[in-house]
Structure 1
Amino acid sequence: MEGLLLEPTLYTVKGIAILDNDGNRILAKYYDKNIFPTVKEQKTFEKNLFNKTHRANAEIIMLDGLTCVYRSNVDLFFYVMGSSQENELILMSILNCLYDSVSQILRKNVEKRAVLESLDVVMLAMDEIC
């Protein structure tokens, strides 16, 4: 029997989330319908992810079979999730692109209140990146 081959996919990014400093969702989008198909599962994963990363000073974690890269700023946490086989450098450059885009949209005022006030534009940037 041959080794199991994964179906090729266009989705390098499985999901993107922006959480506040209590681990609550500000904005999240999952691009692969097979992982966390319900909002309840997504929020459970996000809480778990936040609990494992909010005190760490690393920038990458493997959780529930996903490679997650993250970055925090003031009262926000930015996460980009990819498959366990995904190249971390690609995910990191997507994270940096997301952060830099949001930073530019908010005129370098990257904090929860500013994101909520410009949620529509931040959402558009997130979708355009992916």
Structure 2
Amino acid sequence: MGPDAMILEPSLYTIKAVFILDNDGHRLLAKYYDDTFPSMKEQMAFEKNVFNKTSRTDSEIAFFGGMTIVYKSSIDLFLYVVGSSYENELMLMSVLTCLFESLNHVLRKNVEKRWLLENMDGAFLVVDEIVLQSAKEQIKWSLLK
């Protein structure tokens, strides 16, 4: 088995990170699912760089630091889903859409900073459940190939 085959092995770490920043690029919620950025300092620097690259564009996909990043803005929030460079953008986008729609439901159609901060425990639960379900689906589909 060559190195390329090992890279494509199914993993719970299909999603490397999910984070939500405010209009100024400050972290409101962040979950990292592997050790690509092991320290808080590295995570915050990565988030700042991603925000600087994406906050003024109309695109939904960015490639940065060997990673694929999909993102969406909503009122005063920026939602990001990060995967590896070889990850399928459509799969990452479906995770992002699910995240936004779930937060929309939990926050009662107010996906904005004030409501997110007041419902942070629910937001963390939403993120963890979506990433876990995404990983299960990724593994299931890779086993069917």
TM score, norm. by length of structure 2: 0.85
Task: Report the equivalent of 1:96.
Answer: 97
1:45-124 superposed matches below 5 A: 45-124=46-125
Please state how far the C-alpha of 1:11 moved relative to its aligned partner: 1.6
2:12 corresponds, among 10, 13, 16, to 10
In 1: Cα distance, 2:74 partner to 2:65 partner = 24
Please state how far the C-alpha of 1:12 moved relative to its aligned partner: 1.3
Task: Report the equivalent of 2:41.
Answer: 40
Instruction: Kindly provide the amino acid, as one letter, of the partner of residue 18 in structure 2.
Output: I
Superimposed CA distance per residue, residues 35-81 of structure 1 (whole angstroms, 9 cap, x where no aligned partner): 00000000000000000000000000001111000000110000000
In 1: Cα distance, 2:108 partner to 2:72 partner = 18
Aligned partner of residue 85 in structure 1, secondary structure: coil
Structure 2 gap ranges (5+): 132-145
Task: Report the equivalent of 1:23.
Answer: 25
Instruction: Kindly provide the amino acid, as one letter, of the partner of residue 39 in structure 1.
Output: M
In 1: Cα distance, 2:121 partner to 2:12 partner = 25
Structure 1 gap ranges (5+): none
Instruction: Kindly provide the amino acid, as one letter, of the partner of residue 64 in structure 2.
Output: L
In 1: Cα distance, 2:38 partner to 2:98 partner = 26
Please state how far the C-alpha of 1:3 moved relative to its aligned partner: 5.4
Q: CA RMSD in A?
A: 1.2
The count of residues paired between Structure 1 and Structure 2 equals: 128
Please state how far the C-alpha of 1:10 moved relative to its aligned partner: 2.5
In 2: Cα distance, 1:63 partner to 1:19 partner = 17
Percent identity of equivalent pairs: 57
Higher helix proportion (structure 1 or 2): 2
